[in-house]
Amino acid sequence: MNYNKKTVRDVDVRGKKVLLRCDFNVPQDKATGAITSDKRIVAALPTIRYLLENGAAVIACSHLGKPKGPDPKLTLEPVARRLSELLGQEVLFAHDVVGEDARAKAAALRPGQLLLLENTRFEPGETKNDPALAKALADLAEVYVSDAFGAVHRAHASTAGVAAYLPAVSGFLIEKELAFLGGAIADPKRPLVAILGGAKVSSKIGVINNLLEIADTVIIGGGMSYTFSAALGGQVGDSLLESDWLDYSRQMVEKAKDKGVELLLPVDTVCADVFAPDARSQVVPAGQIPEGWQGLDIGPETVKRYCAAVADAGTVIWNGPMGVFEFPAFAKGTQAVAEALSRTGAITIIGGGDSAAAVEQLGFADKMTHISTGGGASLEFLEGKELPGVACLLDK
């Protein structure tokens, strides 16, 4: 897949109407509907400001939540208000996506003005990537800019379909994701070390498989490591175990050997008598977890080895916590790896929603080269899949 895509800097937007796909899928308070974090709105500001300052009339759109049709609880109107406060200028709002209100307001929009359309998922054609909806969206504007990295793995009308009808380029958020995530996968500074963890093998099958193709070292931790351990004949007690994936895990161990990829598995584990923050705990060798106990973190000897492996890496890609980091008593492995990443001279790339949360919660966010903002999208990236919302953009 080509990650070298045209950006807003490569098109002339002056005097043009620009349809800008944002990721305004913000978390909301269930009771009041209030926006509980405006991080995604803030993240969109650089591209919006650039377009406005360069004389574009900007028609922004986004989905919010998963409505089945129009749903007043999931209107983007509060986002328009917050965006207006952050930008310090009026944000017009259309009460539909491609209906009369949107068409009239888009037609009247002047350079330097900003219009936000209603939730794209109020249109049933959005998730079906209906060409009629894509065309109707395209008819509002002259240029399409995508900056919704969190949605590029979806082939929807506003994330991919619309690009068939307009010159399509990326905004600054997607540009950065492609430079770092794309760069790490397509042309990494070596050695490339991939650290994979998180809950389940089954949710990371494609990631493990693809990274064994491209990495020099693959490190396994977290809940998924117990399925590997069991596959190699270890006792895992009550740890997370996916018995349907034992064969797959053995195949991955074989694949690493065939490819000459160094595969590191835990040598010890911190196990607990119950799944609770205040559980009793003990350190045992990997594959020797007593009956009734469950592994919730990598052990201290494993931590030493994993930290040593990233010390002289050229690039480190990290997806998936090393343990149940939400419980402070079982966050040590994740914390130590995050700290090792903060000290290495390597390019450090974090992908995955919980991994990004862990790095932030543990206070290492500003020490990483790049933390991907798209949970699902960054995983599909690491799987080496073609992302419809990226593939549809013009190549440089």
Which residues form the interface with Mg ion (CB under 5 A)? 353-354
Q: Could you say whether residue 333 binds ligand ADP (CB under 6 A)?
A: no
Among 150, 266, 321, 389, binds ligand ADP (CB under 6 A): 321
How far, CA to CA in Å, does 336 sit from each of 119, 275, 312, 358, 368?
41, 21, 16, 12, 14
Instruction: Tell me which DSSP letter residue 109 carries.
Output: P
Question: Is residue 376 among the annotated active site residues?
Answer: yes
Q: Write down the least CB distance from residue 48 to Mg ion, Å.
A: 29
Give the residue at shortest CB distance from ligand ADP: 198
- φ/ψ region of 225 (left if φ > 0, alpha if ψ in -120 to 50, else beta) reads alpha
CA-angle at 111, arms to 107 and 112, nearest 5° = 125
Q: Write down the least CB distance from residue 39 to Mg ion, Å.
A: 17
Q: Which is nearer to ligand ADP, 120 or 229 (CB)?
A: 229
Instruction: Give the separation between CA 100 and CA 106, rounded to whole angstroms.
Output: 10
Question: Is residue 200 among the annotated active site residues?
Answer: yes
Whether the CB-CB separation of 392 and 163 falls below 8 Å is answered with yes
Output the six-digit token pair for 203.
């949710």
The binding track of 139-178 with respect to ligand ADP, each residue x by CB under 6 A or -, is ----------------------------------------
Instruction: Give the separation between CA 271 and CA 250, rounded to whole angstroms.
Output: 23
Which residue among the candidates 55, 183, 206, 353 is catalytic per the annotation?
A: 353
**Candidate segments 51-59, 124-132, 315-323, 363-371, binder of ligand ADP by CB under 6 A:** 315-323
Helix (H) or strand (E) holding 101: helix 100-108
Q: Which is nearer to Mg ion, 18 or 195 (CB)?
A: 195
Query: Can you tell me which residue has the tokens 């249109």?
Result: 123
Strand partners, 395: 5
Q: Which does 355 bind (CB under 5 to 8 A by kind): Mg ion, ligand ADP, none?
A: ligand ADP
Q: Write down the least CB distance from residue 274 to ligand ADP, Å.
A: 12
**Candidate segments 67-75, 80-88, 299-307, 323-331, binder of ligand ADP by CB under 6 A:** 323-331
Quick one: how far is CA 52 from the chain centroid? 27
Which residue among the candidates 176, 376, 384, 385 is catalytic per the annotation?
A: 376
Instruction: Give the separation between CA 239 and CA 289, rounded to whole angstroms.
Output: 8
Residues at the interface with ligand ADP (CB under 6 A): 198-199, 203, 222-223, 240, 295-296, 319-321, 323-324, 326, 352-355, 375
Task: Provide the annotated active-site residues.
Answer: 40, 200, 353, 376
